[in-house]
Chain A
Amino acid sequence: MALHAFHGGLRLPGHKTHAGAIRPGPVADTLWLPLQQHAGAANRPLVSVGERVNAGQAVAAPDNDDGRLGAWLHAPCDAEVVAIEDRELPSNPAIRAPTLVLRRMAGSDAGADAGAASMPPIADWCEQPSAVLLQRLAEAGVAGLGGAVFPSADKLSVRRQTLIVNGAECEPYIACDDALLRERSDRVIHGALLLAHIAGAEHILLAIEDRMQDALAAAATAIANHGDERIELRAVPTIYPEGGERQLIQTLTGKQVPRGGLPRDIGVIVQNVGTAAAAWAAVVEGRPLTTRLVSVAGDGVRAAGTFEVAIGTPVSEVVAAAGGYSDRAARLIIGGPMMGVALPHDEFPITKAANCVLVPSEAELGERRPEMPCIRCGECARVCPASLLPQQLLAFARGEQWERLQQHGVTDCIECGCCDLVCPSSIPLAEHFRWGKAMLRQRQRDASKAEGAKERHDARQLRIEQEQAERAARRQKAAAPDAVAAALARAKAKATAAKTVESETSDSESTHTDSREDGA
């Protein structure tokens, strides 16, 4: 089957030389588990301060008010809950959010074994209906491990024809999917069959970048051993962002997800290879997601490599496990160099989203040049995988031309950062677009708020008019045929009206008094 190139993209140096065998992660004494592990509402804690928890025990669960299944959160080791406090989130250090603080019990090893089996295995998953398995994935806390951490149970709840298992690890330095495929391909293959069963998918495409030769060979062997013909292995070009959901779908199927739509609209679901392996562990082995593979990379650490790290482990411990910082450590990034988050310090936890701890040196970051004006050279448009015109979006964002910004597709921006990397004027384009998207969302919220206020105002106006009309109707009815009665009625009406005005005035006065008291 032919592959279909997506628009733009960049061939980036891989920097994946550190990809060796998977090493056991550090055993930290303190673990931080943010209740907010993924987009959407935060989980609610199931434990209280002072409580003892066992390895693999659920410590936080989603509120299922919105009908979503979500993903639960588990203790990676035997521990005591020492606090539930607000801490900075690694996904956005500017935000502080409720976090469970666990102290490891002496002798309990978090991370060395890949999570404790705390749930009954479902060995006969082939015979189970999707609903049972979806519930298990949610309760085992399985979420997208490629970095987006969307709860897998919610993503899989709609039936699709095609399952794409994403092993195209396109960002430089990140090599945890590569390590997983090289060492545990069989788990990925089993997991893929499980996910396909849940989603009702007939075709499974396992996509691996053509640069990852060892991973490709290992996956091919695993598929051959398994002997299932539904799985096809695809070597995709090593072009960033090949691992982007929409780009990968186009490469493999030639189809594009409709603008503003979701992959489900074209019958496709994309799941990361790590997610497939985690789903297998959750269902067949009864092990909730309490660890994940993390690449530790960059010239700023002494012994880079890929580690199996317990969720909640401090970044500082992970770096220590990788030999500690070298003298050249210049920045600390969770994620890759293209889309990661730069942390102000290393006392942040590893979350389910953390695929990489990158500590680059100044040399790796490259020369910082001062920002210059845009010369509209159009290099950014040439590399944009969403076929946008970043140079135009920049002008519209700076000019706060919201309609044009929307019409030119700022909300279609996937924030891959390709435009930044080719801009001769060193303009932080992706940052402008993140801001533009946030502003558009804000305006939409304001608009719907204003719409609500207008509706309330209109309803009130209608009520008042109806009351007036009724009153007028009553007056007309009261208007008797003979003049005397009419005069009497008028006088009566006048008196009533005067009384009404009086009472209304006093009402409003009393309201004023009330409000003053409220204020006081």
Chain B
Amino acid sequence: MELSNLTIAEAKAKLVAKEISATDLVSDCVKQIEAHDEEVHAFLEVFKDDAFAQARIVDKKRTAGEELPELAGIPIGIKDNLLMAGKRATAGAQILEHHTAAYDATVVKRLKDAGAVLMGRLNMDDAAMGSSTETSHFGPTKNPWDLSRVPGGSSGGPAASTASRCVLGAFGTDTGGSIRQPASLCGVVGMKPTYGRVSRYGMIALSSSLDQIGPFARTVEDAATLLRIIEGRDEMDATSSYLDETTLAEFLKFEDVKGLRIGVPKEYFIDGMEAEVEKRVREVIALLESHGAEISEVSLPRTNVALEAYYIIQPAEASSNLARYDGMRYGLRATGESLADTYKITRGEGFGREVKRSIMTGTFVLSAGYVDAYYKKALAVRQLIREDFDKVLKSVDVILTPTSPTTAWPLGDKMNDPIKMYLADIFTVSVNLAGLPGISIPCGFANGLPVGFQLIGKAFDEATLFRVGHFYQSITEWHKASPWDK
């Protein structure tokens, strides 16, 4: 328990000083998983033997005095839509229930090269469609702060495992808020990088123009450490970007926020948001202002149509991406009388309800007669949303908002009302549509449940988000709270 409570930075320091071994660290994480994960259900599979084997390799090398890479011995969890060669990869979907990944995602390869100990596969909504992790074919994940509530989603497993001290950090994917929203609901840090900062090679795609892979951690410093390992150009993903060399020190070099211009968009404080959530976020703004930040109200006028544009573009791209699950090359294959029947039966059996609804929506908005009124219209609105952000980010350095309008809700509460579920992402989807970086950082509690605030920055300016976030954590203690200390 004690060691799994460490941040990555703390664990690294102790490992390097040989105060602890990687085996000790993995052993405490495994104990923590055994104590809590039966209830929380963040893991779909724990790689216990592999994890100990990797830890022993690191320990042996350290004892021999070999130079070790940056994450040597650090226990990390992986969302189950990121491929790990030879391991199952289900994306929370029945159609991939028995699928074994043939190769490593670039992110996974870079983590392995950095010496990380991969602890297991983490739960998620069916094909990453959902905001609560309840649509997983393998059953829901619970929120460690209140086991009767959802952890958010779709990266509920990564968020819950990081919050419950079963791993020191994790990786998830964010298409409309799937990293930031569960991070907020579980009281951890979660970042969606700028579109193109991280290679998507080996990620089971949901919506290719919106998807990004990003880190979960308990501190901003750790999130920055994790992002640095996975980011940068990869020839296997043509949309991945060439980046200037960055160092962690550069990411975190703020000592205060004097003169930093923070924009607060009035459209992000809406009717229907929980009063206590708004209070916590207003407290963050006041605190940063008292440390010299210049706060100004800004306007992102198309916020009120972002969700609508998102729920056209995302299903449209998803319906195309999921066309590959036809039972031919991998996954389940049913047998029908004709080839068309084989496709239909295979897909009918293999996809869950949420996914079917999304495929149908996507098919509709792309179908002849409707594509202009829906899909192309949504792309035009997307352009306007991006222009809104460009304009605001010329006058401020960073935008500060709530991450989610509510705290974690009871399991089952929104399952039969898709639009109610969609509203959980109202503060996060715009960032994906505009391709910008966003980070959620814990800022206290409302009725015992974690609240997060979101920072949104200019494209490829993750550094400013990290600096502000790191400064905030250096003057507050919220990120130290553990669900097991209650």
| A and B from one complex | no
A residues near B (Cβ < 8 Å) are: none
B residues near A (Cβ < 8 Å) are: none
